[in-house]
């Protein structure tokens, strides 16, 4: 028998409401509102998580006298070196601050201008301070890896913000540039700052993005919109060859950004490349959700996304199986779709390709800094208030993972040097952000990132758990060497989760975006590729990279050749759309959703 008074914090199931007066907000609603307000003040970061990490560090360091002694001794040694360097440098005409610095040497100070006094002393001191501060969270028994990483993340933000390279008065290169130009660089920098602020106020993209108009300069491969629902438009691209492979390709892009990263300029459009090689390509273009779409969940993204797209393709091209490819979070959804179909005995997929997509989130890389219960509770509250998570907040989190390259260097370049880096198609795409609906993103973060349900067979689709071990069709998996969003070793883990009897893993140079969008001809790219059959032993990621040698060139032709090998003979191109079975042409690609 339950005791109704056992939980004083619980509310009665129903309360008397006075007509005409609004109901009082629930405790959960009050908490959401408070957390959302805190998130606005903290820039979307959970101060509780960082406070807990630093508290844990202080407690564990307090119980580690040997580590304390090591830090003190190292600090004294570095102070002694700094004082000696200062004394010697003051009597020399030039002395490099990186001289005899060993692993502490910072390449930002390698220019000859930094050899002048007192700039070389400031640089030397900064190098010592940086190395000492970076050692704070390491080699302390009892300090969790997650808290150690949060402490290190905080230190990195401080150091990158306070680097002498960021300030005109402490950077001899900037001083010389300003002297040489008579201050014109600063004048241009102010103009750039005012221009950027004005564009931000008008909600315009960065300078130069207007040169990459969607549908003309990018996302310009000819095609038609053959289906639309409340979440996707399905694009079917026009053939450019007299015959095409029988099996069409469905691409499921990430909905964190616009689909056309895979259809950029003609020279690096994956869609155009595949079409020109004789493939029929279908692309999902996700709607950019607004507050009215807050209740779309993962089941909706699955049903209205890849599963519905497969139905449409089957109607337009009845008979052949379908090659499916997914990118980033779109690849994760595709893996869920594949497991769902396999569990239902549905064999419509000819193969599955994943680009930089994780299925096991136990080691998600640097994004794990933002994956903890406190941080997710803050994000959930913000999304609950707004209905969506704004693209700017996600972009800010990614920038903080690379503050030097993505925050400080661009600011110095534009506002102090007075120079604009040329806009390119990939950067223009990157500025075209999207929002995340409340329900989907909450489920995604908690069920996949935090609880890792997919890899353990606990992820539910309409309440029924799906298992990646049901997936047996051929798979082609692509990881990128310097990916900080989906680290390649994390991507590789799918090799141990499925029962694919024809499994190919390819590792390409580059990062999460540039490594995938490499173009069919790319002189700076290299890749490693290996195929495992059912009789071959499974390899760990470390063993894999030791055994597989790199090859020069883009990975695109390798994948296209694999697709051709796993396809049947070529046939006449299908019609665009199929009005007779309910899928008329609704308009030209790239459609309407991409402009949202």
Supply the residues annotated as catalytic: 328
Question: ∠ CA 269-336-365 to the nearest 5 degrees?
Answer: 70
Token representation of residue 453:
């349900």
Contacts of 331 (CB under 8 A, 6+ apart): 252, 254, 325, 354, 355, 356, 357, 358
Task: Give the three-state DSSP class for 400.
Answer: helix
ω into 15 cis (within 30 of 0): no
| Residue 118, both tokens | 């007192």
Helix (H) or strand (E) holding 81: helix 65-89
Run of H or E including 53: helix 47-62
> Distance between CA atoms of 218 and 52, rounded to whole angstroms?
46
Any idea which residue has 């063993």 for tokens? 543
| Bridge partners, 326 (sequence order) | 252, 354
Locate 514 and state its tokens: 């540039």
Helix axes 373-386, 47-62, angle to 10 degrees: 170
196 is written with which tokens? 């950027």
Exposure string for 390-409, b = 16+ CB within 10 A, e = fewer: bbebbeebbebbebbeebeb
Nearest to 444 by CA among 558, 538, 363, 361: 361
Strands 223-228, 232-237: parallel, antiparallel or unpaired by DSSP? antiparallel
SS (H, E, C) 301-363: HHHHHHHHHHHHHHHHCCCCCEEEEEECHHHHHHHHHHHHHHHCCCCCEEEEEEECCCCCCCC
d(CA 82, CA 97): 10
Tokens, residue 331 = 């690849």
Between 27-41 and 373-386, two packed helices, what is the crossing angle to 10 degrees? 100
């Amino acid at each position: 028998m339950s005791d109704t008074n056992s939980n004083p914090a619980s509310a009665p199931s129903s309360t008397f409401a006075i007509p005409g007066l609004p109901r009082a907000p629930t405790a959960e609603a009050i908490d959401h509102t408070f957390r959302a307000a805190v998130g606005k003040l903290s820039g979307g970061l959970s101060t509780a998580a960082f406070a807990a990490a630093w508290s844990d560090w202080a407690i564990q360091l307090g119980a580690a006298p040997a580590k304390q002694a090591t830090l003190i001794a190292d600090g004294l040694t570095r102070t002694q070196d700094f004082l000696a360097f200062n004394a010697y440098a003051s009597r020399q005409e030039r002395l490099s601050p990186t001289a005899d610095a060993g692993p502490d040497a910072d390449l930002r100070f390698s220019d000859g201008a930094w050899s002048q006094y007192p700039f070389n002393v400031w640089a030397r001191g900064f190098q010592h301070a940086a190395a000492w501060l970076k050692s704070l969270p390491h080699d302390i028994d009892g300090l969790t890896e997650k808290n150690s990483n949060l402490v290190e993340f905080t230190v990195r933000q401080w150091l990158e913000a306070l680097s002498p390279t960021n300030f005109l008065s402490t950077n001899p290169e900037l001083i010389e540039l300003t002297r040489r130009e008579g201050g014109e660089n600063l004048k241009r920098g102010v103009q750039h700052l005012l221009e950027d602020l004005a564009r931000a106020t008008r909600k315009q993209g960065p300078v130069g993005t207007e040169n990459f108009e969607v549908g003309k300069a990018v996302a310009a491969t000819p095609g038609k919109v053959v289906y639309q629902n409340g979440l996707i438009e399905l694009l079917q691209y026009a053939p450019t060859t007299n015959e095409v492979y029988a099996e069409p390709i469905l691409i499921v892009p990430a909905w964190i950004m616009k689909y056309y990263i895979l259809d950029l300029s003609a020279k690096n459009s994956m869609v155009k490349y595949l079409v020109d090689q004789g493939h029929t390509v279908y692309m999902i273009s996700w709607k950019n959700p607004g507050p009215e779409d807050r209740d779309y969940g993962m089941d909706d993204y699955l049903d209205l996304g890849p599963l519905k797209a497969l139905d449409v393709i089957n109607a337009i091209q009845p008979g052949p199986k379908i090659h499916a490819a997914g990118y980033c979070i779109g690849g994760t959804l595709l893996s869920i779709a594949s497991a769902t179909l396999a569990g239902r005995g549905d064999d419509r997929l000819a193969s599955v390709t994943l680009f930089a997509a994780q299925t096991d989130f136990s080691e998600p890389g640097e994004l794990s800094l933002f994956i903890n219960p406190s941080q997710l509770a803050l994000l959930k509250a913000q999304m609950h208030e707004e209905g969506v998570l704004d693209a700017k907040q996600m972009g800010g989190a990614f920038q903080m993972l690379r503050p030097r390259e993505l925050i400080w260097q661009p600011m110095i370049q534009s506002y102090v040097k007075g120079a604009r880096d040329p806009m390119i198609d990939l950067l223009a795409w990157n500025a075209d952000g999207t929002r995340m609906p409340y329900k989907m993103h909450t489920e995604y973060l908690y069920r996949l990132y935090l609880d890792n349900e997919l890899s353990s067979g606990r992820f539910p689709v309409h309440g029924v758990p799906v298992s990646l071990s049901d997936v047996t069709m051929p798979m082609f998996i692509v990881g990128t060497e310097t990916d900080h969003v989906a680290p390649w070793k994390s991507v590789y883990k799918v090799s141990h989760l499925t029962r694919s009897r024809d499994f190919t893993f390819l590792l390409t140079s580059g990062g999460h975006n540039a490594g995938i969008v490499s173009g069919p001809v790319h002189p700076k790219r290299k890749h490693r590729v290996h195929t495992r059959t059912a009789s071959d032993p499974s390899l760990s990621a470390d063993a894999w990279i030791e055994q597989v040698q790199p090859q020069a060139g883009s990975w695109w032709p390798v994948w296209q050749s694999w697709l051709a090998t796993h396809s049947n003979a070529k046939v006449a191109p299908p019609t665009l759309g199929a009005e007779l079975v309910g899928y008329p042409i609704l308009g030209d690609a790239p459609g309407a959703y991409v402009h949202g």
